[in-house]
Amino acid sequence: MTDEADGRPEGEPDVDGMGTAPTPRDPGAAESAVRRVEAADDPTTPMAPDVPEDVRKYDRFKKMDGATYDRANEFLRDRTYITAREWAIARLCADFRTETGVEMTKIGENLPHLVPFMTDTYSPQAVNQARASFKEKVRKSGATFLYGAMCDFYTAEELDELMYEVTEVAKFLLEVEGVELTVEEELAAEDRIGDVMREVRESSAALRHDHVTCPECGHEIDSADAGHESDHEPASADD
- Average pLDDT across each block of 10 residues of the chain; the chain has 239 residues. List them in order: 41 37 37 44 53 92 90 94 96 94 96 94 97 97 89 84 88 89 82 80 71 60 48 47
Compute the distance between CA of residue 12 and CA of residue 30 in angstroms, rounded to an integer: 9
Across 6-165, where does the E strand assignment appear? Answer: 97-98, 101-102
- DSSP assignment, residue 52? -
Which of 7, 42, 192, 30 shows the shortest CA–CA distance to 113? Answer: 42
Phi/psi at 59 (nearest 5 deg)?
-125, 15
Compute the distance between CA of residue 59 and CA of residue 178 in angstroms, rounded to an integer: 8
Residue 80: the pLDDT is 95
Residue 179: the pLDDT is 85
Helix (H, G, I), strand (E, B) or coil at 28: coil
C-alpha distances (whole Å) from 48 to each of 30, 33, 40, 113 are: 21, 16, 10, 10
Compute the distance between CA of residue 117 and CA of residue 75 in angstroms, rounded to an integer: 13
Residue 40: the pLDDT is 44
Residue 128: the pLDDT is 97
Which of 176, 155, 143 shows the shortest CA–CA distance to 75? Answer: 176
